[in-house]
């Protein structure tokens, strides 16, 4: 290889992955063979394929830093990694809500790093057959990396990359995720539920429940308590359900009195 070609050859960025829970491992499964992936998680001791075990400082000093930690822990992590982040680095989060993480990262991360909020609209269960065609939302927070990153995700993984503000994301997610996880939580509490003498629509409903039933408790907490638009959606849902229940009970009384 000539000296000129060595100079012009692009060097793949090093990626620091902070958090190796269920979603961190899903990220590792897709990125570990493509990049030098340095992973940090004090709760994980066993080696993970494609991940180079690293300290928090080493992971935070990479070109790209992915924060795959629960939203309640995000502010503390940002404060811990702040001195280690190099100028020009790109920092991403993968939280289920976006308004609060965007605010935290703006406040806690230094001005010399770019920030993109991301939310893969899938998890380990729904991505079992691959991520092609699944959706990911990218929220520009600081810097110019949102559109190039969206293009790379579309080209490399065939993901449906959607660009939105944190507020737009949380408004939509309040209905999309807030109701899904809420209904699933109620149905799980009603178990055992029928599994043999069922309809197609009920089977589809149970498939939706099974996709989220094993999510970590902090995921449910983030979706239901940390999205500022969820309380209104929840109140409307329960209000309409109560109105319907009352209508059915009163209609039953009127029918029986005939």
Q: Are 176 and 152 in contact (CB under 8 A)?
A: no
Q: Are 104 and 80 in contact (CB under 8 A)?
A: no
Strands 114-120 and 135-142: antiparallel
Omega before 192 cis (within 30°)? yes
Q: Annotated binding residue at 236?
A: no
Measuring CA to CA, which residue among 229, 222, 230 is closest to residue 104? Answer: 222
Exposure string of 149-165, with b = 16+ CB inside 10 Å and e = fewer, is bbeebeeebebbbbebe
Q: Is the dihedral of CA 152, 157, 159, 164 positive or negative?
A: negative
User: What token pair was written down for 157?
Assistant: 């993984």
User: DSSP letter string over 60-114?
Assistant: HTSSEEEE-S-GGGHHHHHHHHGGGPPTT-EEEE--S--HHHHHHHHHHS-TTSE
Q: Are 179 and 233 in contact (CB under 8 A)?
A: yes
Please state the residue numbers annotated as binding site for ATP.
49
């Amino acid at each position: 290889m000539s000296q000129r070609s060595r100079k012009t050859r692009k060097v793949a960025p090093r990626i620091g992955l902070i958090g190796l829970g269920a979603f961190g491992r899903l990220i590792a499964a897709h990125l570990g063979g493509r990049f030098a992936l340095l992973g940090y998680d004090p709760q994980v001791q066993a080696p993970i394929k494609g991940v180079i075990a690293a300290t928090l400082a080493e992971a935070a000093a990479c070109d790209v830093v992915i924060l795959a930690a629960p939203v309640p822990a995000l502010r503390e992590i940002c404060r811990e990694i702040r001195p280690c982040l190099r100028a020009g680095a790109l920092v991403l989060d993968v939280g289920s809500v976006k308004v609060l993480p965007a605010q935290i990262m703006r406040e806690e991360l230094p001005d010399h790093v770019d920030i993109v909020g991301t939310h893969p609209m899938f998890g380990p269960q729904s991505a079992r057959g691959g991520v092609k065609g699944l959706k990911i939302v990218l929220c520009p927070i600081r810097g110019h990396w949102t559109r190039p990153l969206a293009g790379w995700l579309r080209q490399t993984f065939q993901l449906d990359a959607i660009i939105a503000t944190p507020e737009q994301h949380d408004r939509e997610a309040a209905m999309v995720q807030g109701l899904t996880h809420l209904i699933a939580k109620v149905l799980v509490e009603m178990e055992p539920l029928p599994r043999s003498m069922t309809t197609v629509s009920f089977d589809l409903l149970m498939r939706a429940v099974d996709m989220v039933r094993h999510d970590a408790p902090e995921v449910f907490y983030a979706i239901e308590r940390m999205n500022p638009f969820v309380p209104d959606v929840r109140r409307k849902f329960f209000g309409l359900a109560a109105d319907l229940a009352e209508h059915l009970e009163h209609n039953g009384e009127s029918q029986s009195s005939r």
